Amino acid sequence: MKIPKIQDLILFENDDLFVVNKPPFISSLDEREGGELSILRLARQYSADAQVCHRLDKETSGCLIIAKKPEAYRSVSMQFERRKIKKVYHAVVNGTHVFNDLRIDLPILNLGNKNVSISRQEGKPAETLFNSIKYFKHYTLIECQPVTGRMHQIRIHLATQKASIAGDEMYGGKPVFLSHIKRGYHLGKDQEELPIMKRFALHAKELTFHIAPETEITVTAPYPKDFATLLKQLERFDI
């Protein structure tokens, strides 16, 4: 994978912080093993005291806030803690689903080792709002607004509605193959078909937060190439 320059990922920047459009397959923070590339490492090459204010799953792309100064880190962290930051994600899910302000309020228990489950007894409160944006024959583009910020929250909440994210095999999602949506599609002899998107289809589309007490901004992250390609193919062949 080509190593991106952090400057090429910046969507917004001021003296205190910057917001990047995180590419998929790069961790937000350093992994325990320490060898892999991370957004934090790239950010510190650009701004020595950089701190990542929240995290996205490795496969998830989109808006990520990075503080340049400790005060900015504290300010953003407090906004997250007090649920003052509006987060909007887009997901392509398996099946056709009509969600109009569907509010899922199911507690999530972190089992460790990147595993979570729904647990009404032991889980921590977790709330997500879902709205369908676009319908295809076999898939739906969903807008997801997590109120809380639990690990895998959007992914597991969608799975409880039998609307697993395409490609999210951990939660029952199936990858999208062109042969499933394009009539008359034939592979060449001895060719193995690869999915249109080699990860689960989740993108952190938008963040709205305060950069000063009286100044609120909204930052929007364009779809990365793989997500845009998936939507283009669905619009072409799955209507």
DSSP state letter for 238 = -
Q: Write the single-letter amino acid at 215.
A: T
In the chain, what's the furthest Cα-to-Cα distance? 62
Dihedral sign from CA coordinates of 101, 102, 106, 110? negative
Q: Is 238 a catalytic residue?
A: no
CB 167 within 8 A of CB 176: yes
Tell me the pairing of strands 202-212 and 86-94: antiparallel
SS3 (DSSP) at 233: helix
- Given the residues 57, 101, 105, 168, select the one marked as catalytic: 57
Nearest residue to 62 (alpha-carbon basis) of 91, 24, 26: 24
DSSP state letter for 171 = G
Tell me the pairing of strands 202-212 and 61-67: parallel
Catalytic residue list: 57
